């Protein structure tokens, strides 16, 4: 049991030019999560190489990458793009509803993203824009499939709100301008918070299909990838 816990427990790490960064504990983590790496420095990239990073998994939509160089991956890392929403990201709405819609309507994309993590020989950095919602769902599915305890997955998810809030407060309040007062709190919650109840709601939707492994299989993930995740969790 201790081996499984070591392979799925998360820790906060410092990487120059990244924010909201955590990784699986250990010298060569199989999973790292963060906000968008557009500020990643060469020193930060060297830190990631030292952790064994080989692949960056980008969950953003093409419109969110405007202005970024498309002709070369950042600092030499291979980049896999799996746009999770399939549409421009929502700027308003209730987190629980957004997560549920992703799980019910974008299961194939979610399973594809988790399969990228499973199939990688070395570490994968998963990110969206803030590294809390899309990243939170994909990381939760991957970690649960690898053997993590639900309480640990939710606790890790909650940490994103702490990391993101001071960096995105101005952006969130700008998005809330003109929004009716009755909806304003939900807009701020969407852009700033990672409340445990939102992820618990999402996990309840996954449970309706029979659990994490069944959900991923149903949406196209193979047994080989599921076995690979269990091995990563047991390492």
pLDDT for position 26: 86
Task: Determine the pLDDT at residue 76.
Answer: 83
Rounded CA separation 105/156 (Å): 25
Encode burial over 148-173: b for 16+ CB neighbours within 10 A, e otherwise.
beeeebbebbbbbbebbbeebeeebe
CA distances 7 to 33, 124, 135, 201, Å, are 15, 14, 19, 25
Give the whole-angstrom CA distance, residue 68 versus residue 18.
Answer: 16
DSSP 79: E
H or E element, residue 32 = strand 31-34
d(CA 49, CA 190): 32
Q: Which of 152, 164, 153, 221 is nearest to 188 (CA)?
A: 164
Task: Specify the pLDDT at position 74.
Answer: 62
Residue 162, CA distances (Å) to 57, 82, 98, 167 in order: 23, 26, 20, 10
Considering the entire predicted model, what is its pTM? 0.93
According to CATH, the topology of domain 2-234 is 3.90.190
Half-sphere exposure of 27 (CA within 13 A, CB side): 0
Closest CA to 39 of 72, 17, 13, 56: 17
Question: How confident is the prediction along the chain (235 residues), in pLDDT tens digits per residue?
Answer: 223 344 678 999 999 999 999 999 988 899 999 999 989 999 999 999 999 999 999 999 999 987 676 555 568 899 999 999 999 999 999 999 999 999 999 999 999 999 999 999 999 999 999 999 999 999 999 999 999 999 999 999 999 999 999 988 988 888 888 888 878 889 889 999 999 999 999 999 999 999 999 999 999 999 999 999 999 999 8
Domain positions in the chain: 2-234
Sheet (strand 78-81) strand order: 10-12, 22-24, 31-34, 123-127, 53-58, 78-81
């Amino acid at each position: 049991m201790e081996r499984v816990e070591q392979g799925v427990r998360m820790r906060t790490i410092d990487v120059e030019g990244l924010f909201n960064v955590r990784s699986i504990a250990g010298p060569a983590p199989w999973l790292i999560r963060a906000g968008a790496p557009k500020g990643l420095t060469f020193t930060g990239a060297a830190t990631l190489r030292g952790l064994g990073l080989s692949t960056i998994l980008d969950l953003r939509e093409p419109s969110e990458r405007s202005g970024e160089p498309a002709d070369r991956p950042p600092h030499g890392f291979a980049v896999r793009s799996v746009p999770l929403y399939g549409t421009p990201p929502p700027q308003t709405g209730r987190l629980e509803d957004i997560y549920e819609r992703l799980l019910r309507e974008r299961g194939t994309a979610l399973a594809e993203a988790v399969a990228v993590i499973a199939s990688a020989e070395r570490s994968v950095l998963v990110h969206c824009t803030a590294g809390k919602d899309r990243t939170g769902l994909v990381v939760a599915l991957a970690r649960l499939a690898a053997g993590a305890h639900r309480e640990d997955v939710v606790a890790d998810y909650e940490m994103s709100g702490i990391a993101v809030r001071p960096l995105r407060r101005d952006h969130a309040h700008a998005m809330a301008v003109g929004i009716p007062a009755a909806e304003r709190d939900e807009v701020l919650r969407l852009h700033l918070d990672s409340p445990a109840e939102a992820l618990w709601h999402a996990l309840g939707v996954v449970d309706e299909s029979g659990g994490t492994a069944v959900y991923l299989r149903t949406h196209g993930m193979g047994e080989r990838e599921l076995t690979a995740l269990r091995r990563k969790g047991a390492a």
